[in-house]
């Protein structure tokens, strides 16, 4: 049962942790590399780095921290290579997130839902975005454990876009996914044993995922798939 390493003390640090888990839900090596790159970026942007390292009590500890960052970066991809990796991972993560959002919305609209129905609807929607679709089933296996996190950022807007509200939305999606058992399968949509969770002590507000303007077209795509499947079955 993996739990996000967030505390609520620093929203910037917490956002970085969530971002890393969205990109690398099960790749600890790349997660660590991105962490050390983020830490290095903080040092580069620090205006008083010299004073920061020369403080009487904490200076030596901070020097050791800088050494650890430098040594760790030696085993990480270059900045350009990491940017390419991030771009690719983000696209796949968004695909997994869109699939989960579509599943959740169709279910709450009272539509019949299955992996095939939601995959069909998602593929049709993705064709309009320019994202590389690929094999959605394989994408979900790699990025499904953090799909709810990416999905919550997609749905966030306005004054509800702070991290606490985003994570509250992610928890709504996680609980739905872990509680929904797929048709003819004895497994849930999201695996409770591997899906990333918000720490129980992290304070979250109450949220509601509202209907969007695209819900009608999403429902139409689901109905289209069902009609096509019925027609194909009858024509055999």
Domain assignment of residue 179, yes or no: yes
Residue-range definition of the domain harbouring residue 180: 11-45+77-234
Q: Supply the pTM of this predicted model.
A: 0.89
Give, as one character, the DSSP assignment of residue 199.
-
Domain assignment of residue 93, yes or no: yes
* Structure confidence at residue 160 (pLDDT): 66
Domain assignment of residue 18, yes or no: yes
236, pLDDT greater than 60:
no
Domain assignment of residue 220, yes or no: yes
Count of structural domains within the chain: 1
**Rounded Cα gap, residues 1 and 16, in angstroms:** 20
Residue 58 — very low, low, confident or very high, per pLDDT cuts 50/70/90?
low
Tell me how far CA of residue 69 lies from CA of 13, 44, 50, in angstroms.
Answer: 16, 12, 16
* Structure confidence at residue 51 (pLDDT): 67
36, pLDDT greater than 90:
yes
Domain assignment of residue 129, yes or no: yes
């Amino acid at each position: 049962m993996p739990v996000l390493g967030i505390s609520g003390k620093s929203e910037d640090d917490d956002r970085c942790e969530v971002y890393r888990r969205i990109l690398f839900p099960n790749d600890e090596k790349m997660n660590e590399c991105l962490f050390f790159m983020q830490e290095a970026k903080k040092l580069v942007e620090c205006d008083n780095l010299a004073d920061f390292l020369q403080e009487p009590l904490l200076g030596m500890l901070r020097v050791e921290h800088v050494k650890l960052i430098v040594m760790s970066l030696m085993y990480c991809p270059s900045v350009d290579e990491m940017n390419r990796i991030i771009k690719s991972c983000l696209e796949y993560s968004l695909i997994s997130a869109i699939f989960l959002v579509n599943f959740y919305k169709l279910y709450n609209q009272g539509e019949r839902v299955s992996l095939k129905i939601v995959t069909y609807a998602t593929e049709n929607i993705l064709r309009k975005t320019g994202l590389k679709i690929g094999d959605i089933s394989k994408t979900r296996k790699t990025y499904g454990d953090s799909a709810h996190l990416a999905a919550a950022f997609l749905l966030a807007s306005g004054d509800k876009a702070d991290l606490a509200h985003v994570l509250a939305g992610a928890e709504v999606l996680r609980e739905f996914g872990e509680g929904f058992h797929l048709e003819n399968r004895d497994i849930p949509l999201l695996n409770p044993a591997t899906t990333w969770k918000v720490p129980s002590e992290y304070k979250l507000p109450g949220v509601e995922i509202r209907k969007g303007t695209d819900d009608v077209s999403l429902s139409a795509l689901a109905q289209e798939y069902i009609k096509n499947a019925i027609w194909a079955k009858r024509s055999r």
